[in-house]
């Protein structure tokens, strides 16, 4: 058996064909860079979010969770620095009106770090390198200018007060609720608050399928520590992020740690380590771990006039905790998991099967129950078994087509186990259990199924 390289086209095509991800608003001709998660996609995405929540929030004594709003008080974004500094440099092509990230236009040709270039330097490099518009090939660009990535919306109020921002990161709701969480729960520093939710960015050059979109989801942790202890917590969160990558089945060899330097650091960060992943279109940022110091709590304290200091119950020391922020994009996780799982496997007989090797915890369908024939009491027996194995999550029943074809259908959506019900089942209460990855089949008693499945597949 051999494995071929996975291309982005194959993933996008499978995603559409099998109902993982559809292009958004397709019946109206599409709405650029928006995507709908289909029936299998939403299962996969929910499994990722549920596993993350279980792993980082429920299983840890030093973590709690919140669910904040997308629209926060507009002063939040002034205090957080997003109104003034959450910008990307943009140029327009005067010939075809396409908009581009100025830094992206020069990054392939410039040997230094493009994040450190001023607007004037970007203009100079665009001219010196003879950069062509990626859309029309022209060289007639406007001057580079800063473009704020926050989406604005109108509230039913007048004047300045009417503007609200769609949050560009989930993190800020956590900072706003820091005091409430400390006052209403028994957490003590060091502790963290986790949150999963939508974020919105008016990206100048979105693309690469669900990698860079305007509306996406984040799973974020703000971990509050004593200022003198940030280094050890930072290291331990970097390790915890590697463990998560392993848990969801990403190959460690495809993950590259990038120490973000100088001007490339976000405005709130004193240190950031990016987790880059070998996506089919190149090595790009998957996750990040940032040391946000007391930047956010300090700014919100100043802007709101409310003290956000923490008092250590043992020493009575009062201080603003510092923050370590491990951040995980949900959509990029879906894309990485799909890329890692995808295989066009050439079998010994020369045929090719497409298979998604999802970790069982992430698989959209856990188990498929397949009666060999749709008569003679086999469907009823299979339905009985289906009801039993549904304790493991979303399961499917399929009685249509040749059994080999039904196995292939399940392989393509990454179902770890198929259970086949045949005439012997009616005689001796045994079934065939087929493993997706090895394609090996085992005969076993229905009474042994639940233990076998939980011991071998659905444990984490
Ligand atoms: N709170 C910190 C923060 O938002 P970030 O690096 O800007 O940091 C965090 O974003 C993560 O969100 C990224 O590592 C990535 O996984 C995801 N992300 C950011 N922008 C995205 C976009 N336009 N589309 C999809 N995912 C995105």
What is the whole-number distance in angstroms between the Cα of residue 168 and the centre of ligand 1? 9
Q: Which atom of ligand 1 is nearest to the CA of 203?
A: 23
What is the whole-number distance in angstroms between the Cα of residue 459 and the centre of ligand 1? 30
Q: Which atom of ligand 1 is nearest to the CA of 211?
A: 25
**Structure tokens, 187:** 């957490």
Which H or E run contains 283?
strand 282-293
φ, ψ at 387 (rounded to 5°): -60, -35
What is the whole-number distance in angstroms between the Cα of residue 163 and the centre of ligand 1? 23
Do 181 and 66 contact (CB within 8 A), yes or no?
A: yes
Cα–Cα dist 255/115, whole Å:
22
Q: Is 378 exposed, middle or buried (0-12, 13-18, 19+ CB in 10 A)?
A: buried
pLDDT score recorded for residue 111: 85
What is the whole-number distance in angstroms between the Cα of residue 174 and the centre of ligand 1? 16
In this structure, the chain runs to a length of 460
What is the whole-number distance in angstroms between the Cα of residue 49 and the centre of ligand 1? 15
Do 430 and 448 contact (CB within 8 A), yes or no?
A: no
**Structure tokens, 243:** 């463990």
What is the whole-number distance in angstroms between the Cα of residue 88 and the centre of ligand 1? 14
Calculate helix-pair angle for 330-341, 8-17, nearest 10 degrees.
Answer: 100
List CB contacts of 322: < 8 A, sequence separation 6 or more: 224, 225, 226, 227, 230, 291, 292, 293, 294
Q: Which atom of ligand 1 is nearest to the CA of 212?
A: 24
pTM: 0.95
> Strands 63-65 and 191-200: what pairing?
parallel
Q: Which atom of ligand 1 is nearest to the CA of 327?
A: 9
* Best residue for ligand 1 mutational test, from 329, 333, 335, 336 (most atoms within 8 Å of Cβ): 329
Q: Which residue has the tokens 């559809």?
A: 22
Q: Where are the alpha helices (DSSP H) in 159-267?
A: 171-176, 178-184, 230-247
Per-residue pLDDT of the chain (460 residues; tens, 9 = 90+): 445 457 999 999 999 999 999 999 999 999 999 999 999 999 999 999 999 999 999 999 999 999 999 999 999 999 999 999 999 999 999 999 999 999 999 998 888 888 889 999 999 999 999 999 999 999 999 999 999 999 999 988 766 668 999 999 999 999 999 999 999 999 999 999 999 999 999 999 999 999 999 999 999 999 999 999 999 999 999 999 999 999 999 999 999 999 999 888 999 999 999 999 999 999 999 999 999 999 999 999 999 999 999 999 999 999 999 999 999 999 999 999 999 999 999 999 999 999 999 999 999 999 999 999 999 999 999 999 999 999 999 999 999 999 999 999 999 999 999 999 999 999 999 999 999 999 999 999 999 999 999 999 997 4
Residues with Cβ within 6 A of ligand 1?
169, 171, 201, 203, 212-213, 216, 218, 220, 285-288, 325, 327, 329, 331-332
What is the whole-number distance in angstroms between the Cα of residue 218 and the centre of ligand 1? 7
> Strands 417-421 and 430-435: what pairing?
antiparallel
Cα–Cα dist 432/419, whole Å:
6
Do 73 and 156 contact (CB within 8 A), yes or no?
A: no
Q: Which atom of ligand 1 is nearest to the CA of 329?
A: 16
Cα–Cα dist 20/318, whole Å:
50
- Which residue's alpha carbon is at the smallest distance from atom 15 of ligand 1? 329
Cite the beta strand spans of 374-452 per DSSP E.
395-397, 417-421, 430-435, 441-445
Cβ atoms < 10 Å from Cβ of 177: 16
Cα–Cα dist 403/419, whole Å:
11
**Residue (of 392, 410, 286, 291) closest to 340 by Cα position:** 286
């Amino acid at each position: 058996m051999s494995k071929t390289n996975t291309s982005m086209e194959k993933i996008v095509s499978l995603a559409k064909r099998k109902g993982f991800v559809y292009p958004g608003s397709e019946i109206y001709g599409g709405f650029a860079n928006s995507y709908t998660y289909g029936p299998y996609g939403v299962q996969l995405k929910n499994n990722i979010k549920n596993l993350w929540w279980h792993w980082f929030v429920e299983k840890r004594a030093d973590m709690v969770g919140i669910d904040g709003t997308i629209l926060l008080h507009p002063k939040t974004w002034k205090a957080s620095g997003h109104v003034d500094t959450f910008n990307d440099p943009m140029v327009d092509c005067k010939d075809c009106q396409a908009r581009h990230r100025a830094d992206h236009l020069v990054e392939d040709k410039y040997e230094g770090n493009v994040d450190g270039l001023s607007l004037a330097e970007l203009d100079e490099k665009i001219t010196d390198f003879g950069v062509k518009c990626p859309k029309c090939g022209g060289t007639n660009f406007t001057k580079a200018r800063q473009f704020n990535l926050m989406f604005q919306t109108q509230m039913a109020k007048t004047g300045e007060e009417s503007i609200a921002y769609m949050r560009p990161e989930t993190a800020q709701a956590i900072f706003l609720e820091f005091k409430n969480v400390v006052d209403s729960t028994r957490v003590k520093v060091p502790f963290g608050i986790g949150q999963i939710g939508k974020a919105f960015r008016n990206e100048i050059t979105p693309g690469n399928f669900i990698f860079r979109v305007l509306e996406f989801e984040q799973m974020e942790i703000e971990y509050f520590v004593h200022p003198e202890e940030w280094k050890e917590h930072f290291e331990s969160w970097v390790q915890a992020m590697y463990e998560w990558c392993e848990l969801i089945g990403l190959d460690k060899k495809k993950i590259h740690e990038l120490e973000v330097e100088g001007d490339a650091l976000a405005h709130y960060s004193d240190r950031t380590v990016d987790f880059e992943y070998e996506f089919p279109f190149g090595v790009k940022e998957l996750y990040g771990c940032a040391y946000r110091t007391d930047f956010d709590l300090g700014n919100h304290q100043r802007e709101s006039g409310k003290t956000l200091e923490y008092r250590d119950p043992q020493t009575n020391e009062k201080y603003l905790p510092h923050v370590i922020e491990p951040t995980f994009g949900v959509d990029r996780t879906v894309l990485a998991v799909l890329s890692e799982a995808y295989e066009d496997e050439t079998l010994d007989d020369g045929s090719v099967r497409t298979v998604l090797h999802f970790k069982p915890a992430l698989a959209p369908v856990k188990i498929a129950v397949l009666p060999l024939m749709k008569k003679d009491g086999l469907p009823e027996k299979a339905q009985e078994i289906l009801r039993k194995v549904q304790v493991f999550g979303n399961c499917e029943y399929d009685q249509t087509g040749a059994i080999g074809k039904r196995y292939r259908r399940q392989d393509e959506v990454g179902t770890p186990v198929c259970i086949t019900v045949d005439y012997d089942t009616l005689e001796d209460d045994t079934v065939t259990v087929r493993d997706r990855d090895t394609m090996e089949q085992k005969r076993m008693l229905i009474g042994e199924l639940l233990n076998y499945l939980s011991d071998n597949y659905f444990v984490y």
